Amino acid sequence: METLTHILNGFSVCLQPINLWYTFIGVFIGTIIGVLPGIGPSAGIALLIPVTYGMNPTSALIMMCGIYYGTKYGGSTTAILIKTPGEAASVMTTIDGYEMARKGRAGAALAVSAIGSFIAGTLGVVALTLFALPLASMALKFGPAEYFCLMLFAMTAVASLSGKSPAKGMFSTLLGLMIATIGIDLQSGQPRYTMGVAEFQDGVGFIVVVVGLFAMAEVLRGMEDVFKGVAAPMIRISGKLWLTKEEWKRSIGPIWRGGIIGFIIGVLPGAGGTIASILSYTTEKRLSKNPEEFGKGAIEGVAGPESANNSDTAGAMVPLLTLGVPGGGATAVLMGAFIMYGIQPGPLLFEKRPDLVWGLVDSMYIGNIMLLILNLPLIGLFVRLLYIPSGILYPLIVAISVIGSYAINGSMLDLYLVLFFGVVGYVFQKVDIPVAPLVLSLVLGGIMEQSFRQAMTISGADPAIFVKSSISVTLITLSVVSIALPFILPRLKEWKKGAESQES
Amino acid sequence: MLADRVIFVCIIVLTAVYFYATAQIPTLEIGDPLGPKAFPRLLGIGLLIVAALLFMEIWRARKTPPEASPQPSGDRRHLTVIGVVVAGTAVYLGVFTLLGYVIATSIYLLALMAYFHPGKWTANILTAVLFCVLSYLMFTKLLGVSLPRGVLPF
């Protein structure tokens, strides 16, 4: 009953004309960012923060979230038509989506992505609505020690799941935490690692790091592709933007299953949209009666993953809003946006600002309807974006990044840092060091250190406080398991293989 | 892989530098029991653990026979191009406040487009100049973001 009142109040917030307008702008920009390769949700949101500074926080956050889930709709278009994921999570769609397009079923592929995204996206928001309050009230019992352990778990999960090598993932996490220690220490007032530069006393801004790692690095990588001349030919939309009866029947199962897989993966820290869509793809392939069709234009291979990566965004909002701990790179940037507006996401927010939380959640229902319209009847407009030559697009992204980063403080140092982190991101990509863990731990670093020190102050510098409650013991165990598992699993497989070969 | 060994050495160097810089933080013996150095020290220890884990990964990759690792083709021209782009961007930032956003960015964009989108002079010049003027007007006049004016009078 309480939830129902909140939902209704939320709609009274998000249906205000100004908020409807910002929902629309958010999902519109989100679709554009999704369609354009080379810029993703993280960079898009980070670049908008300085520009929207001073706006009403509710409207601004509604818009930023719109960008976040809107990109997942746009990403599939690029995947289907030019075999390039417009956004990382649509990578699975490049396989069967592009094949469908080559066979003249581009219209059907785009339609099933939009419809699947809508059904699964809405399903995800329903689940978010139902789970938010119970989880938030549970999280209210967390003290600083539990929070520290929760953040530790989020970071280790992201570190071990977001790349090929868990050691490199952890390295990325630690780098983020180390960057977060730069600046004046809030408790003692001592400057740390400022290297004598006055501007570093305020720390290294996360916007600068995100724009560098996600926009600038992506531009450098894209320019490399332009130089090498690698690009699949673009396919024009062919066929009606709708599904045949047969295609409907084949798609509906994958959409539901993808929606459920996506939401669960979204709630858990670490995995995120890309893994959700891979899981959905392999599930569909396993369940299919004709698995050999996968890779040759099976509609299930588009419907499932595209649904999964949309309900994943709703799932990922659950830990961000209820616990105040994001489980991945893009939600970490969203959390950074919350903090820039002076709003601390977490269980207390549900008590202090129910209008904001529920207005935001409800705006996601409306945003999904808007996205369905933008991405089905109006998709032709966005497809034109793909005609922009990369050689023009990438330089423009640099210019936009420069404006956005300069707008924060009008600081030249920030611009050089964007370039620096751009090079870092480019090199990291070459040597397989994932950057999502770095962003997550950079955003959480300050809070993590605070809760660590608060916990130690409470206990009188006795570290046993981190194993006092069952919650923190569970979380620490999970953290250790998530680090150790990637090392143990291959051993187990080898051992099993060895045992089997001995038996036979 | 060679890259992994380089990363390993970098982590070791970074850890040493970080521990050294941590020791340089002045502390007052008041306030919270831990002070500003404790958390960074934990991070330093974390780095050492990461170095050990990476060493294990390298060691194991060494034992397993190289599974058809894609031989680098030896063509490193793209690295030169990216290097020039990065250097060019640094020069652009160097003259950013001096020349102002519109002029500096127009020249920068034109140079990049001339290389990555060659031959289409009309399209490139139109895009670069129009983008810079319009974005300048939009951000400074409409959104209240200040961008360096430089030598331009408005």
Same domain, yes or no, for B31 and B84? no
Q: Do A431 and B3 touch (CB under 8 A)?
A: yes
Give whole-number Cα distances, A240 to A104, A112, A374, A493, B11, in Å. Answer: 10, 12, 16, 48, 55
The whole domain housing B138 covers 76-154
Nearest residue, CB atoms, B39 vs list A419, A430, A452: A452
User: Mutating which of A151, A184, A190, A400 best tests the B interface, going by the most B Cβ atoms within 10 A?
Assistant: A190
Q: Do B117 and A51 touch (CB under 8 A)?
A: no
3-state helix, strand, coil split of chain A in percent (to 5) is: 80, 0, 20
Nearest residue, CB atoms, A392 vs list B39, B127, B139: B127
Same domain, yes or no, for B42 and B112? no
Among A61, A67, A71, which residue's Cα sits nearest to residue A337? A61
Domain boundary among B67, B97, B120: B67
Q: Decide if A495 touches B, using CB distance below 8 A.
A: no
Same domain, yes or no, for B80 and B153? yes
Domain boundary among B39, B67, B95: B67
* Stretch A434-442: mean pLDDT: 93
Domain count, chain B: 2
Same domain, yes or no, for B100 and B140? yes
Same domain, yes or no, for B98 and B141? yes
Q: What is the pLDDT of residue A356?
A: 94
Same domain, yes or no, for B80 and B152? yes
- pLDDT tens, A6-37? 899 999 999 999 999 999 999 999 999 999 98
Residues of chain B contacting residue A428, judged by C-beta atoms under 8 Å apart:
none
Domain boundary among B67, B101, B125: B67
Whether the pLDDT of residue B69 is over 70: the answer is no
Chain A residue with the nearest C-alpha to that of B115: A391
Same domain, yes or no, for B105 and B135? yes
Same domain, yes or no, for B88 and B145? yes
Whether the pLDDT of residue B72 is over 60: the answer is no
- Residue count of chain B, please give it: 154
Q: Decide if A462 touches B, using CB distance below 8 A.
A: no
Residues of chain B contacting residue A194, judged by C-beta atoms under 8 Å apart:
none
pTM of the model: 0.90
ipTM for this model = 0.92
Q: Decide if A226 touches B, using CB distance below 8 A.
A: yes
Whether the pLDDT of residue A310 is over 90: the answer is yes
| A374 neighbors A382 (Cβ within 8 angstroms) | yes
Q: Do B116 and A223 touch (CB under 8 A)?
A: yes
Whether the pLDDT of residue B67 is over 60: the answer is no
Nearest residue, CB atoms, B43 vs list A174, A391, A426: A174
- Cα gap A334→A313, rounded to integer Å: 12
Q: What is the pLDDT of residue A49?
A: 86
Six token digits for residue A185 = 């220490």
| Rounded percentage of chain A residues whose pLDDT exceeds 70 | 99
Same domain, yes or no, for B82 and B35? no
- pLDDT tens, A137-146? 888 889 999 9
| CA of B64 vs chain A CAs: smallest distance (Å) | 12
Same domain, yes or no, for B83 and B37? no
Interhelix angle A106-139/A354-375, nearest 10 degrees: 170
Same domain, yes or no, for B109 and B46? no
Same domain, yes or no, for B62 and B103? no
